[in-house]
Amino acid sequence: QVQLQESGPGLVKPSETLSLTCTVSSDSIRDYFWSWIRQPPGKGLEWIGYFHYREGTNYNPSLRSRVTISLDMSKNHFSLKLNSVIAADTAVYYCARGEIERVLYFDYWGQGIQVTVSS
């Protein structure tokens, strides 16, 4: 059973950088699309981006200029950095494992972490 766990600060000031880490209990970290997805309060899901060991990164075009996702295989975790945050970045942030066959789908999710952008 794969488990994912998000960690990081729950409060970030406007204009600063949001940094989150997802620790993965999996020995196949090279083989999947490790992803971040967020959900603003009372709203739907928004894909942020993914990192794949061989395929590289892909980001939501609406966030591309502010996002970096990286993978640290030695620590079995991957990270999200979102620059220049604003109040609209307040959301529950999920990390998820992306599997691909004829569509990329998310079969394992973390429990989510609430991040609030406020001074």
* CA distances, 98 to each of 17, 31, 36, 50 (Å): 25, 9, 10, 8
Residue 111 engages another protein in binding (rule: CB under 8 A): yes
The number of CA neighbours under 13 Å toward the Cβ of 53 is: 12
Rounded Cα distance, 12 and 23, in Å: 21
**Exactly one of 28, 31, 107, 118 binds another protein (CB under 8 A); which one?**
107
C-beta neighbour count of 68 within 10 angstroms: 15
Contact pick of 12, 110, 115, 117 for another protein (by CB under 8 A): 110
Stretch that binds another protein, among 16-24, 68-76, 77-85, 109-117 (CB under 8 A): 109-117
41 near another protein (CB under 8 A): no
Contact with another protein (CB under 8 A) among 105, 114, 116, 118: 105
Shortest Cβ 119–another protein spacing (Å): 27
Nearest to 9 by CA among 113, 118, 98: 113
Q: Which residues contact another protein (rule: CB under 8 A)?
A: 35, 44-47, 50, 58, 60-61, 94, 101-107, 109-112
